[in-house]
Amino acid sequence: MAEEPHANGGARSRRLVTIGPGDVRLEVEATERRTLAADDVRLRVLRVGICGSDAHILDGTHPYLGYPVVQGHEIVARVEAVGHNSSALHPGDVVVVEPALACGECPTCRRGSTNCCPDLQVVGVHRDGGLADALIVPRRATHPVAEVPIDAAVFVEPIAVALWALRRGRMRKGDRVLVLGAGSLGRSVVLAAAAAGAAVTVADRSPARRHLAAALGADSSLSPHDLRGVAGTRGAPDLVIDTTGSSELISIAAEVVRPAGLIVVVGISEDALDVPVADFSRRELAVVGARNSVGMFPAAIDLVRSHAAALVNTIQLRVPLEGASDALLAVAGRTIHGRALVVVSDI
Ligand SMILES: [Zn+2]
Ligand SMILES: [Zn+2]
């Protein structure tokens, strides 16, 4: 154990705590002078992106979490102090946090599926996240982002999730990819698929969201009402990535995907899926899930670096930490179509 070198004598720290569904409170307390474990780093949070899963946590429809929790899993931060074993990082470095922390030792982890570890702890979901001045995470959860603008760096986490979904979907250059949902994650999938050479169609009921998706590389877009006609106009999709969790849309996707194509479900909901069993043999229907990401952060950082301006252009709402509950409510209530960003600190 190392004594933390930068203790803030007399300083106060803020944290926004989600006590339970719909109940968010800002707590201010004296900054603790804590010792830092050898493998940990202490961060000063700079930016937090708010996404659909935060909205699910706020309204109590996230299938796996416990309250109370400090939300925020799309985190950009500055290193304040490092433990003994974290010598590769230095105070002052800007990092993004890879929020899914696996045990690394169970049979699932040993097979490489660390994202599905039964003891998975996701920062901002199962353990306290970025909607706070200070955050301590293991060194292995951080990735330096020296050449990425701070506002753009909040996109690294959702882009990593998008890259993993495309990996799960075995996307190849030239594939016709249909993306269900043009929210933060859907647009991340659009960008990642288009950058990898796919022909991308996006379905969302909001024209404003479809417009944002077009600016990130979608070749065409449509309303979910017209989804059954997608094969007629564009050719049946080789791959469908669902970011909505809507069983209705996923069922339609199972009808329109080409025979032996693939559907990847990233969206979360409490829906149950009802598809004809015969389609699994008749059309080799394949539906797979995707959760968080494994090993995608370096590629995501590169992608965000090369598309930083286009991504930052999708930011619609910027609020200070005191206003973060407004951002959560705006995302939950779909009153905004672009990204919501919490500016925790500029230091
Ligand atoms: Zn997210
Ligand atoms: Zn594990």
The counts of H helices and E strands in the chain are 12, 19
CA of 74 to the centre of ligand 1 (A): 6
Query: What are the beta bridge partners of residue 31?
Result: none
d(CA 219, CA 47): 31
Assign 189 to helix, strand or coil: helix
Q: Which ligand is nearest to the CA of 293?
A: 1
CA atoms within 13 A on the CB side of 141: 32
| pLDDT for the residue 26 | 93
CA of 114 to the centre of ligand 2 (A): 6
d(CA 344, CA 347): 9
CA atoms within 13 A on the CB side of 172: 3
| pLDDT for the residue 33 | 67
| pLDDT for the residue 333 | 83
| pLDDT for the residue 10 | 63
Q: List pLDDT tens digits, range 289-344.
A: 999 999 999 999 999 999 999 999 999 999 999 999 888 888 888 889 999 999 99
DSSP 174: T
Q: What is the dihedral of CA 193, 96, 135, 42, to 10 degrees?
A: 160
**What DSSP element (H or E) covers 310?**
helix 308-312
All residues with CB under 5 Å from ion ligand 1: 51
Q: How crowded is residue 115: how many other Cβ atoms within 10 Å of its Cβ?
A: 20
d(CA 307, CA 153): 11
CA of 266 to the centre of ligand 2 (A): 20
Q: Which ligand is nearest to the CA of 158?
A: 1
User: By the 8 A CB rule, do 333 and 174 touch?
Assistant: no
Q: Which ligand is nearest to the CA of 156?
A: 1
CA of 210 to the centre of ligand 2 (A): 38
| pLDDT for the residue 3 | 43
| pLDDT for the residue 334 | 82
Q: Which residues contact 288 (CB under 8 A, 6 or more apart)?
A: 168, 169, 262, 263, 264, 265
| pLDDT for the residue 308 | 98
d(CA 182, CA 228): 18
Assign 153 to helix, strand or coil: helix
CA of 115 to the centre of ligand 2 (A): 8
Which ranges of the chain have pLDDT less than 70?
1-10, 33, 63-64, 86, 233
Q: Which residues contact 132 (CB under 8 A, 6 or more apart)?
A: 13, 14, 15, 16, 45, 70, 72, 321, 344
DSSP 276: -
CA of 278 to the centre of ligand 1 (A): 35
